[in-house]
């Protein structure tokens, strides 16, 4: 049995990834920060697949919080290596740069980029000792192309892509890979206010994607089959941009 951690596993894309990891028999650590009921619903879905897991509350952007919960779990479970890490937690706070507040800039950077650092730094050590690991980070079309109104979000996601490319070169010799997936428009709480009808004509596949479609790509990169792929960004955007 492999141990897997999904940050932001309580809802949306993260939940779909947790369920697919469970289908493959993994023990799933489901991170969340505020919506405990949703995290418990994800755990229920994991158990319905015949696998097991646990919910883990911490704010990925707060290093002391990550260390106190995830760091202590790692210390107390020296025999259990987390072999799959999915950095999925993220928020968006869209605003034109000229109107952007420090809070809007910092919260997006701290969760996507700071969260990537706080969590990956802790988990990578065990992977290196085990000489096996898969780090998959959920970035965005916005981090590849840049989108107006999202300087904070585009910067944070582009930074995670850069960090992933650097990390992949640090850890490749020890059997650890690091890759990103870059979704376009996916139907989740995050895109609730965006009308699919207004945007779908821009998308060659003429629709928004589903969380399950993103999760399938994550599962491939997290599998042993993807052993010779590292430092890459896989777009899942219906052909919107490549
Ligand atoms: P979502 O439905 O809004 O879910 C966000 C998840 O992140 C929730 O589980 C939430 O936990 C968690 N989270 C937020 N802040 C956190 C923090 N500080 N610490 C720990 N967990 C935190 O979003 P989604 O659409 O599934 O997005 C998942 C990822 O895909 C994000 O990184 C997002 O940027 C990326 N993405 C999404 C789209 C899209 O179209 N939906 C497109 C491109 C990229 P709680 O439930 O506890 O709040």
pLDDT above 90 (res 131) = yes
Residue ranges covered by each domain of the chain: 3-236
Rounded percentage of the chain residues whose pLDDT exceeds 70: 100
- Residue 1 pLDDT grade (very low, low, confident, very high; cuts 50, 70, 90): confident
DSSP 187-202: -SGGGTTS-HHHHGGG
Are 180 and 231 in contact by the 8 Å Cβ rule? The answer is no
Sheet holding 82-87, edge to edge: 53-57, 27-32, 3-6, 82-87, 133-138, 176-183, 233-236
Topology, domain 3-236: Rossmann fold (3.40.50)
pTM of the model: 0.98
156-188 pLDDT, tens digit each? 999 999 999 999 999 999 999 999 999 999 999
CA of 136 from ligand 1 middle (Å) equals 15
Nearest Cα to Cα of residue 86 among 116, 53, 58, 66: 116
* Residues in contact with ligand 1 (CB, 6 Å cut-off): 7-8, 10-14, 31-35, 38, 59-61, 88-91, 111, 138, 140, 183, 185-186, 188-191
CA of 176 from ligand 1 middle (Å) equals 25
Give Cα 224 distance to the centre of its chain.
18
Q: Which residues, 6+ apart, have CB-to-CB distance to 151 below 8 Å?
A: 97, 100, 105
């Amino acid at each position: 049995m492999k141990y897997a951690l999904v940050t932001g596993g309580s809802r949306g894309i993260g939940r779909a990834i947790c369920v697919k990891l469970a289908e493959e028999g993994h023990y799933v650590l489901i991170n969340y920060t505020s919506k405990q009921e949703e995290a418990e619903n994800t755990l229920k879905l994991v158990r319905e697949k015949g696998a097991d897991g646990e919910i883990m509350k911490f704010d990925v952007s707060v290093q002391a919080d990550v260390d106190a919960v995830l760091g202590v779990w790692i210390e107390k479970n020296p025999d259990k290596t987390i072999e799959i890490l999915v950095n999925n937690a993220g928020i968006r706070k869209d605003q034109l740069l000229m109107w952007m507040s420090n809070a809007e800039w910092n919260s997006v950077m701290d969760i996507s980029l700071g969260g990537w650092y706080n969590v990956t730094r802790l988990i990578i050590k065990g992977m290196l000792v085990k000489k096996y690991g898969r780090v998959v980070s959920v970035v965005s079309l916005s981090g590849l192309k840049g989108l107006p109104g999202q300087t904070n979000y585009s910067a944070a996601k582009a930074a995670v892509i850069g960090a992933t490319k650097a990390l992949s070169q640090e850890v490749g010799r020890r059997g650890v890979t690091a890759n990103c997936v870059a979704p376009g428009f996916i139907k989740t709480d995050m895109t609730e206010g965006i009308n699919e009808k207004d945007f779908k004509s821009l998308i060659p596949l003429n629709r928004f994607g589903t969380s399950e479609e993103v999760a399938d790509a994550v599962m491939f990169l997290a599998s042993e089959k993807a052993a010779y792929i590292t430092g890459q960004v896989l777009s899942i955007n219906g052909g919107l941009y490549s």
